[in-house]
Structure 1
Amino acid sequence: MNRASDTPTATPGEHGQRALAARLDWNLIRTYLVVAEELSFSRAAARLFVTQPAVSQAIKRLQAQLGYTLIRRRGPRISLTTAGEEVYRIAGGVFAEVSSLEMPASRVADQIVGRVKLLTVSRVHSARYNAFLVDFHRRHPRVELEVEVMRGHDLLLALRQNTASLGLGLCRVETKTIERRLIIPQRYALFCGRPHRLYAHDDVDIQTLLHEDLVTFTGDQLGDTLSPLTLFRENHEFQGRLAASSSNLEEVCRLIICGYGIGFLPEGAFRKEIENGMLRKLPPPDGLADVDIHLLWNSDRPMRAAEAVFRDELLAAFEGD
């Protein structure tokens, strides 16, 4: 007669889960998390300090261990399958929990561990934003912050594609799935550089500017993030030739300073150049249009702890502005 065992009998499913946990290589999971965040084998390889073939092989091995496809490739672009999204969600949570084991339980403020990828337009000029970054790093030193600069249109596209946590950018109108909160008001005005013929003229008015060569943004077109500038140009019937353009704000400023034409710039971001006489503000005296900087995020993308803390504390830092 057999004696019943005191140990509960595991179900076949439980045996399978335990076997998977025992044989699973967690280095492969870590590689997968980076690939899922970057949506690029080459960028993931750069972050992990390994070769791109090594990353590809790691993903193949992980898919073989799990028994299903995680990543879908279409030429140079990759995306996550439904199963891949679920593995990313679960594995990300597991890694966050494991990372927190090394933290002293008594230091609650330091227990936020994780990574925040922040996309931003260039020349975000704000002493309060700088102060926030100093304070956030002091209170959460184990949060890794990655900042990537890009033009406004690409920033919105990247957020919609879930390739980043948060963005600081231009979003003039409401956009589906994108949450926005005003952070830094910006007023754009017209400027010319010292080599320009209007720099030394005292009696410059809007009529004088109508046929001047223009320096503008490659994204400055109707319906784009900088369209208030285009609308102003259309309403005042500017007829000037397009002399130069760039998608980069720094380069637009450089071209204006070098005398290629008159152009639109946010006043606050280039205060030093104005004070040093490299730029001269042109009419109208109250500027052209408001193109404000917003904190942006995808409402459909679940936020991890570090991302949510960064967002909430940044909003709190600007509360009331």
Structure 2
Amino acid sequence: MNLNLHLVRIFYHVVESQSFSRAAEKLFISQPAVSKAIKELENQLDLVLIERGLVGVKRRRAIKLTSDGEALFEHARAIFSLERVAIDDLQSRVELKQGRLAVGASSTIASYWIADYVTRFHQQYPGIDVRIEVGNTESMWQALIDCHIDLALVEGGVVDPRIVKEVWQDEELVVITHPDASFSCEDLVNQQWLVREQGSGTYLVTEKMLERLAIHPRDRLTIASNEGIARMVACGAGVAILPLCIVQDLVSLKQLKIFKVPQFKTLSRSLFLLTLKDRPVTKLQKSFIDCLKTSSIYG
């Protein structure tokens, strides 16, 4: 059995308004069309829904339902009540009054970059639930592919035809040492290098810089935390390359020293915004991306 919701809607309005003519006015159709629709619905269901007859002292036609009609009316009331809830919900999403957004961010971006943007977005759209997933670049790339997040902000190193990658920000990097360390650029090869784990954007940029300097460190220590690396360098454990935003407080406190590399006037890397190529961008996602782009890099 199929239920024709167009005919059910007409039936619902007839019963609710207790009038064929008022239902016709509300639905912008003729009264004969309403009568025809009710009869067609009864034929389709093979049920009598409305008792025909005259009642009342003024002998006006009233709407009296059979038991089957009463059952259908209750179902119709539930159906169209849910429809109104759905319309209200979707309308509020169109107007960004509610919704959920999952944003992936590599650890540096989550700790030092994204807070201002999320705060500004929440102030503009307080009904939106923004969830931040934190991990290294590789894990955020995989989460995006698996549709566990809507977009990602990472430190690079992603080459995948399924992903659209665009530059979001540029981040300054520095070589750091203990404040009392004293050695030349040539001696960098003899130092213990503290590096992030493979899959991290910081690991990739460290490897690229060492390659450009033709440095092949004899000793390495892998630590899965930029802050952990900074603290260990401050304790004299070795040298490292980290974003300036992570170490500038420790440098100001003279717990770390920035080591100048003559071959590089400045060190920097790009931070990227990732989206799925074949996944439509929702209005909510676009609004958040627009918020992310309200910075000097986009003019």
1:21-40 residue pairs with structure 2 within 5 A?
A: none
Match of 2:89 in 1: 99
Match of 1:139 in 2: 124
SS in 1 for 2:37: coil
Match of 1:299 in 2: 277
Paired residues of 2:194 and 2:220 also in contact (CA < 8 A): yes
Letter of the structure 1 residue corresponding to residue 240 of structure 2: G
Residues 235-271 of structure 1: per-residue CA shift (max 9 Å, x gap): 4332433342123222222222222211110123321
Whether 1:209 and 2:188 are equivalent positions in the alignment is yes
Instruction: Measure how far apart 1:125 and its partner are.
Output: 8.6
1:213-292 residue pairs with structure 2 within 5 A?
A: 213-219=192-198, 226-284=203-261, 286=264, 289-292=267-270
Paired residues of 1:205 and 1:283 also in contact (CA < 8 A): no
State TM-score, norm by structure 1: 0.60
- Distance in 1 of aligned mates of 2:199 and 2:112: 27
State TM-score, norm by structure 2: 0.64
Are the structure 2 counterparts of residues 209 and 97 from structure 1 closer, same or farther at C-alpha, using a change threshold of 3 Å? Answer: farther
Instruction: Measure how far apart 1:174 and its partner are.
Output: 4.6
1:67-216 residue pairs with structure 2 within 5 A?
A: 97-99=87-89, 111-124=96-109, 130-172=115-157, 174-194=159-179, 199-201=180-182, 204-216=183-195
Letter of the structure 1 residue corresponding to residue 248 of structure 2: R
Are the structure 2 counterparts of residues 172 and 302 from structure 1 closer, same or farther at C-alpha, using a change threshold of 3 Å? Answer: same
- Distance in 1 of aligned mates of 2:233 and 2:106: 19
Instruction: Measure how far apart 1:288 and its partner are.
Output: 6.9
Q: Which moved more, 1:124-133 or 1:260-269?
A: 124-133
Letter of the structure 2 residue corresponding to residue 211 of structure 1: N
Are the structure 2 counterparts of residues 154 and 125 from structure 1 closer, same or farther at C-alpha, using a change threshold of 3 Å? Answer: closer
Q: Which moved more, 1:124-133 or 1:109-118?
A: 124-133
Paired residues of 2:104 and 2:153 also in contact (CA < 8 A): yes
Residues 81-118 of structure 1: per-residue CA shift (max 9 Å, x gap): xxxxxxxxxxxxx99854356x6xxxx99643211111
- Distance in 2 of aligned mates of 1:129 and 1:164: 16
- Distance in 2 of aligned mates of 1:241 and 1:96: 63
Paired residues of 1:180 and 1:296 also in contact (CA < 8 A): yes
- Which structure would you say has the larger Rg? 2
Instruction: Measure how far apart 1:208 and its partner are.
Output: 1.9
Instruction: Measure how far apart 1:191 and its partner are.
Output: 0.8
Match of 2:25 in 1: none
- Distance in 2 of aligned mates of 1:177 and 1:141: 32
Instruction: Measure how far apart 1:149 and its partner are.
Output: 1.5
Match of 1:45 in 2: none
Flag structure 2 segments of 5+ consecutive residues without an equivalent: 1-34, 46-74
Letter of the structure 1 residue corresponding to residue 41 of structure 2: T
Identity %: 17
Residues 156-186 of structure 1: per-residue CA shift (max 9 Å, x gap): 1111221101111112465322222322211
- Distance in 2 of aligned mates of 1:126 and 1:143: 21
- Distance in 2 of aligned mates of 1:167 and 1:100: 25
Flag structure 1 segments of 5+ consecutive residues without an equivalent: 13-18, 27-93
SS in 1 for 2:107: coil
Paired residues of 1:187 and 1:289 also in contact (CA < 8 A): yes
